[in-house]
């Protein structure tokens, strides 16, 4: 019965999201372009690129496709796999293979015992040894460059590599907001045998995100400061995505009764459920009355945070 209700509702969901006149270019602060330059300048000193991406958006235009970065061996780490839909894994791998990306690992680097984090050092050493190292042939140690958009877990992965291979603690500051990794750090050791170091870079974006939808997915996953995009539109895009992917756990979480494609309705119910309401005075013809208004911003904030923490289920957006 419940499934029938959901399926009946499915026909009412939007097929496309209306992005209006939005322009992604305003969403990416200037330091990202600077980071890209620093990254290229450091390329001579590295043997391999370790590209970290969010497993929920694996097909976003990536740095490795751009210019000079492609000359180094490359490992794509799709991190935050604990938040992505495991049933999409094989499809993602197949599509990446078809686009020429062969070396891919899925990680959840917050999990102490993630098996794939353990595989990174041996796989990187193998990749480096399988190709000429050019002017770095005499080097006894391996050097990696870690790249990725903000907030995908670069610092967390570096810390996980140190924890796993050196039994050492944190070298990189971890933050919940995009853009914590601001400076290009000097070399950080991640393994003794073989000696392996890496340089951390600011979370830099590719110079051009191909369309607004890609930008919106990045925003939803927390790689752009929310206020640059607007929490109301991120929340609406989240609702659109959950319905499109038939991920309806939000219905029970917020006591909605049935799925809805109307963000105002959903936010109102979230606000009421969470007690995020405000009492405001209204002037009417028969005198002043106090009415209870839902706090839409607080509700949008909660909805987005719940998605980012995985509380709305494991979702792959691509
Ligand atoms: N669920 C989950 N969260 C993660 C994972 N890795 C990192 N995080 C969280 O994602 C947030 C960002 O992590 P960071 O390691 O600071 O990311 P970063 O890429 O270095 O961020 P910038 O400094 O902004 O470039 C933090 O709240 C981490 O706890 C993961 O595998 N799974």
- pLDDT at position 311 is 97
- The answer to the question of whether 155 is labelled as a binding residue is yes
pLDDT (tens place) for every residue of the chain, 318 residues total: 466 666 666 667 898 998 887 777 667 665 556 666 777 777 778 899 898 999 999 876 554 455 556 678 889 999 999 999 999 999 999 999 988 888 999 999 999 888 999 999 999 999 999 887 777 777 888 999 888 888 899 889 989 999 999 877 666 555 555 554 544 446 788 999 999 998 766 556 554 566 788 889 989 999 888 888 899 999 999 999 999 999 999 999 999 999 999 999 999 999 999 999 888 888 887 788 888 889 999 999 999 999 999 999 999 998
* d(CA 150, ligand 1 centre) in Å: 9
Supply the pLDDT for residue 25: 67
**What confidence score (pLDDT) does residue 184 get?**
46
- Give, using CA atoms, the residue closest to atom 26 of ligand 1: 176
Per DSSP, the residues of 197-265 read EEEE------S--S-HHHHHHHHHTTSS-HHHH-HHHHHHHHHHHHHHTT--HHHHHTT-SS----HHH
3-state secondary structure of 306: helix
pLDDT score for 292: 84
Residue nearest to atom 3 of ligand 1 (CA): 80
Q: Is the CB of 222 under 6 A from ligand 1?
A: no
Pocket test for ligand 1, best of 57, 156, 157 (most atoms within 8 A of CB): 156
Q: Please report the DSSP string for 24-50 in residue order.
A: GGGGS-THHHHHHHHHHHHGGG-SEEE
Asked if residues 55 and 108 have their Cβ atoms less than 8 Å apart, the reply is: no
Which sign, positive or negative, has the C-alpha torsion 32, 34, 35, 39? positive
By the 10 Å C-beta count (0-12 exposed, 13-18 middle, 19+ buried), 140 is classed as: exposed
**CA 173, CA 109: separation in Å to the nearest integer?**
14
Cα–Cα distance measured from residue 108 to residue 115, given in angstroms and rounded to the nearest whole number: 9
Q: State residue 245's pLDDT score.
A: 94
CB of residue 80 inside a 6 A radius of ligand 1: yes
Give me the pLDDT at residue 58, please.
81
In angstroms, rounded to a whole number, what is the distance separating the alpha carbons of residues 129 and 138?
12
Residue 152, annotated ligand binder? Answer: yes
CA distance 152 to 170: 17
**Nearest-CA neighbor of 69 among 100, 46, 102?**
46
Please identify, by atom number, the ligand 1 atom nearest to the C-alpha of residue 111: 31
225 lines ligand 1 (CB under 6 A): no
Q: Which atom of ligand 1 is nearest to the CA of 309?
A: 1
The reported pTM is 0.86
Of 210, 62, 220, give the one whose Cα is nearest residue 147. Answer: 62
């Amino acid at each position: 019965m419940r499934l029938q209700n959901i399926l009946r509702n499915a026909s009412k969901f939007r097929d496309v999201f209306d992005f209006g006149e939005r322009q992604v270019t305003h969403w990416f602060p200037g330091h990202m372009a600077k980071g890209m330059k620093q990254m290229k300048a450091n390329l001579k000193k590295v043997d391999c690129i370790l590209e970290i991406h969010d497993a929920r958006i694996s097909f976003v235009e990536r740095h490795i496709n751009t210019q000079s970065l492609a000359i180094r061996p490359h490992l794509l780490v799709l991190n935050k796999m604990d938040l992505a839909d495991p049933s999409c894994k094989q499809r993602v791998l197949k599509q990446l293979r078809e686009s020429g990306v062969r070396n891919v690992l899925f990680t959840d680097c917050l999990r102490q015992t993630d098996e794939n984090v353990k595989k990174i050092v041996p796989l990187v050493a193998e990749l480096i040894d399988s190709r000429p190292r050019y002017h770095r042939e005499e080097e006894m140690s391996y050097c990696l460059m870690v790249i990725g958009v903000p907030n995908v877990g670069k610092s967390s992965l570096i810390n996980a590599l140190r924890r796993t291979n050196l039994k050492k603690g944190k070298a990189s500051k971890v933050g919940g907001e995009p853009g914590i990794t601001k400076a290009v750090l000097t070399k950080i050791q991640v393994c003794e045998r073989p000696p392996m170091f890496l340089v951390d870079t600011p979370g830099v974006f590719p110079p051009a995100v191909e369309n607004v939808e890609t930008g919106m997915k990045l925003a939803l996953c927390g790689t752009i400061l929310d206020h640059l995009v607007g929490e109301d539109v991120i929340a609406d895009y989240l609702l659109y995505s959950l319905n499109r992917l038939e991920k309806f756990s939000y219905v029970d979480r917020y006591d909605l009764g049935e799925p809805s494609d109307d963000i105002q309705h959903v936010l109102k119910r979230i606000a009421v459920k969470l007690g995020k309401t405000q009492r405001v005075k209204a002037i009417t013809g028969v005198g002043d009355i106090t009415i209870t208004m839902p706090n839409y911003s607080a509700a949008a904030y909660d909805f987005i945070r719940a998605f980012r923490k995985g509380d709305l289920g494991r979702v792959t957006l691509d």
